[in-house]
């Protein structure tokens, strides 16, 4: 029996008919979750999915998505949660790099998978939720998947990899697959539930995508560990946020800094301590001003953290042992934290450097990067995980996260790989070279800005952004573009991204406004 299968069985035995999951008008008890997940595991097995498979899940947030994820964890195969907005080159890269042998997808994402399936020698079958597979000639076997199939008990497996591959945003190269195990993710989930004090009285709210570690292992699994309930939304709707909290008596939710500002923007003066059910929130990136609004006016305690897919919940800023607002707090029970210079020497308090982490508990840190021993060795050199992030520690040991030293951009809660956006833009025949960076806007979020050297004097930004929209997730499509004769470079011809980040916003074409006129953007 796998780690998560045992969790589902013990939770069902303990909590039985208590509500576990809610989505829309649907709700499942702890017993329902076990029965439905085991039945679906039987169905997947009958379709040829076994412990040796690498199974990609390409689905929007839904109960079906949760059940497919849990069923695959019962089977014990290697799970690969995939951002369903990925398409073309990026989708092909991820499925190929993860050596995906099978996939489950929503019907709307089948065409994107079929577009790249012929170039994926490992991919053998695709199971489609909400779709009649019909007939036709396809490069892989396509079958319909009835997620609501008749329940059937799954006996269990004797041994299985029980691995999860979570893809980072790429930095100066393609995204890397972070390998964790069910055991390591259960360590994280139980620690999160312990820190947050979750219990049967809690009802959580999740609006982050289920391919994220955040939603899975600091959301759904902590709820199931503690007897709580969790409402899953397809995405954040600020217009209905408080209505949902009131209706379901939500007590906790996860956040990013930009999410908190969006919630404050729709929070009227009648909302204050004692006038709602929300007690606490877990996340990262809360600015001091927003933090004060949530805690002092709304009475919602923020549990701030710093971490990465490789090393989650590395620090904590907790209400009962508060560090200064705006800091990510001090080392958690999972990691030691230090800041080093380029020679890996410790930096004095208050001086900027790279944040490095060392696990205090077994399974707190990733097992490594999938099929990338060189990257694993580089990241784990000297006995510490090198985050690539910049920050400093004050004399009390509080961590202040400054920026991603890696070449990534933060937008709409996503870390976007500048390299991946550049690689797509450079596929356009009118683009000779692309350089992408983040341009700061409110709440520590960024816009994606692209500087392009054209290969064609008649290059059209409208054509280029339309090309990008067909090949990139919506949140990664540049909103600022400009054509330039050359790019600022180092003596070794590398692009100076720091100079590009200093380019005034007015120097770019603001694409949403420009392209609406041509009917290219909604």
Q: For 493-502, what is each residue's pLDDT tens digit?
A: 568 887 898 8
Instruction: Give pLDDT tens digits for 354-397.
Output: 999 999 998 999 999 999 999 999 999 999 999 988 899 999 99
* pLDDT for the residue 258: 75
- CB of 90 closer than 8 Å to CB of 420: yes
Pairing of strands 480-483, 446-454: parallel
pLDDT band at 169 (very low <50, low <70, confident <90, very high): low
* pLDDT for the residue 367: 97
> What SS3 class is residue 201?
coil
How large is the average pLDDT for residues 298-311?
96
Q: Which stretches of 271-334 are DSSP H helices?
A: 288-292
pLDDT band at 407 (very low <50, low <70, confident <90, very high): low
Residue 116 has pLDDT above 90, yes or no: yes
N- to C-terminal Cα separation, the chain: 48
* pLDDT for the residue 520: 32
pLDDT band at 522 (very low <50, low <70, confident <90, very high): very low
CB-based contacts of 88, cutoff 8 Å, min separation 6 = 112, 115, 116, 424, 470, 471
Angstrom distance (rounded) from CA 358 to CA 344: 13
| Lowest mean pLDDT across 33-47, 73-87, 279-293, 482-496 | 482-496
Structural domains in the chain, CATH included, are 3-161 (3.40.50.980), 184-404 (3.40.50.12780), 408-516 (3.30.300.30)
Q: Which residues pair with 304 in a beta bridge?
A: 283, 317
| CA dist 153 → 34, 42, 75, 463 (Å) | 9, 7, 12, 53
Instruction: Give pLDDT tens digits for 178-232.
Output: 999 999 999 999 999 999 999 999 999 999 999 999 999 999 999 999 999 999 9
Which DSSP letter does residue 383 get? G
Residue 85 has pLDDT above 60, yes or no: yes
CB-based contacts of 68, cutoff 8 Å, min separation 6 = 40, 57, 59, 104, 129, 145, 147
Angstrom distance (rounded) from CA 359 to CA 339: 15
Average pLDDT, the chain: 90
pTM over 0.85: no
Please tell me which of 149-158, 267-276, 476-485 the model is most confident about, judged by mean pLDDT: 476-485
Crossing angle of the two packed helices 88-97 and 418-425, in degrees rounded to 10:
130
Pairing of strands 353-359, 229-232: unpaired
Instruction: Give pLDDT tens digits for 412-452.
Output: 667 788 878 888 998 899 998 899 998 877 655 788 999 99
Please tell me which of 47-51, 255-259, 402-406 the model is most confident about, judged by mean pLDDT: 47-51
* pLDDT for the residue 320: 93
Q: Comparing 119 with 274, which gets the higher pLDDT?
A: 119
What number of helices (H) and strands (E) belong to the chain?
16, 27
- Which phi-psi region, left, alpha or beta, contains residue 130 (left: φ > 0; alpha: ψ -120 to 50)? left
Strands (E), 203-251: 203-206, 229-232
Instruction: Give pLDDT tens digits for 330-357.
Output: 999 999 999 999 999 999 999 999 999 9
- CB of 311 closer than 8 Å to CB of 317: no
Sheet hosting strand 301-306, strand order edge to edge: 26-29, 19-23, 229-232, 203-206, 252-256, 280-284, 301-306, 315-317, 330-331
Angstrom distance (rounded) from CA 504 to CA 143: 52
Residue 328: which of 402, 384, 386, 388 has the closest Cα?
Answer: 402
pLDDT band at 515 (very low <50, low <70, confident <90, very high): very low
- CB of 37 closer than 8 Å to CB of 74: yes
Say if residue 461 is exposed, middle or buried (CB neighbours under 10 Å; 0-12, 13-18, 19+). Answer: buried
Instruction: Give pLDDT tens digits for 224-241.
Output: 999 999 999 999 998 999
* pLDDT for the residue 514: 41
Q: Comparing 475 with 36, which gets the higher pLDDT?
A: 36
Angstrom distance (rounded) from CA 231 to CA 245: 10
CA–centroid distance for 318 within its chain: 23
């Amino acid at each position: 029996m796998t780690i998560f299968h045992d969790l589902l069985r013990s939770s069902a035995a303990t909590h039985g008919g208590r509500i576990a999951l809610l989505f829309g008008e649907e709700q499942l008890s702890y017993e329902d979750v076990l029965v439905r997940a085991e039945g679906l595991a039987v169905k997947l097995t009958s379709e040829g999915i076994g412990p040796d498979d690498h199974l990609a899940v390409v689905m929007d947030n839904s109960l079906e998505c949760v059940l497919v994820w849990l069923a695959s964890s019962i089977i014990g195969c290697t799970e690969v949660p995939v951002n369903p907005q990925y398409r073309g080159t990026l989708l092909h890269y991820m499925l190929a790099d993860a050596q995906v042998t099978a996939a489950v997808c929503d019907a709307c994402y089948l065409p994107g998978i079929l577009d790249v399936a012929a170039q994926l020698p490992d991919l053998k079958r695709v199971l489609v939720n909400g779709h009649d597979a019909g007939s036709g000639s396809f490069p892989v076997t396509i079958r319909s998947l009835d997620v609501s199939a008749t329940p059937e008990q799954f006996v269990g497996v004797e041994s299985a990899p029980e691995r999860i591959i979570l893809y980072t945003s790429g930095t100066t190269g393609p995204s890397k697959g972070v390998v964790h195990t069910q055991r390591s993710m259960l360590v994280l989930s139980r620690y999160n539930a312990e820190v947050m004090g979750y219990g049967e009285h809690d009802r959580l709210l999740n609006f982050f995508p289920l391919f994220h570690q955040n939603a899975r292992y600091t959301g759904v699994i902590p709820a199931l560990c503690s007897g709580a309930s969790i409402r899953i939304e397809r995405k954040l709707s600020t217009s209905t946020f408080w209505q949902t909290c009131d209706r379901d008596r939500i007590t906790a939710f996860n956040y990013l800094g930009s999410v908190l500002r969006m919630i404050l923007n729709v929070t009227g003066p009648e909302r204050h301590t004692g006038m709602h059910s929300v007690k606490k929130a877990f996340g990262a990136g809360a600015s001091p001003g927003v933090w004060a609004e949530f805690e002092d006016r709304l009475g919602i305690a923020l549990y701030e953290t710093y971490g990465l897919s490789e090393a989650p919940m590395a620090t904590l800023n907790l209400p009962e042992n508060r560090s200064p607002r705006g800091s990510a707090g001090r080392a958690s029970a999972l990691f030691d934290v230090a800041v080093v210079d380029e020679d890996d020497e410790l930096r004095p308090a208050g001086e900027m450097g790279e944040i490095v982490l060392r696990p205090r508990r077994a399974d707190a840190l990733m097992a490594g990067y999938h099929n990338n021993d060189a990257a694993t060795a580089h990241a784990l050199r000297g006995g510490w995980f090198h985050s690539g992030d910049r920050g400093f520690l004050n004399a009390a040991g509080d961590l202040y996260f400054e920026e991603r030293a890696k070449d990534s951009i933060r937008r709409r809660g996503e870390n976007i790989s500048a390299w991946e956006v550049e690689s797509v833009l450079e596929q356009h025949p009118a683009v000779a070279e692309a350089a992408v960076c983040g341009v700061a806007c409110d709440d520590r979020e960024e816009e994606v800005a692209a500087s392009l050297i054209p290969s064609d004097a008649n290059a059209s930004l409208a054509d280029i952004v339309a090309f990008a929209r067909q090949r990139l997730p919506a949140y990664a499509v540049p909103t600022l573009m400009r054509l330039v004769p050359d790019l600022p470079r180092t003596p070794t011809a590398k692009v100076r991204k720091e100079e590009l980040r200093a380019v005034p916003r007015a120097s770019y074409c603001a694409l949403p406004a420009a392209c609406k006129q041509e009917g290219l953007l909604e």
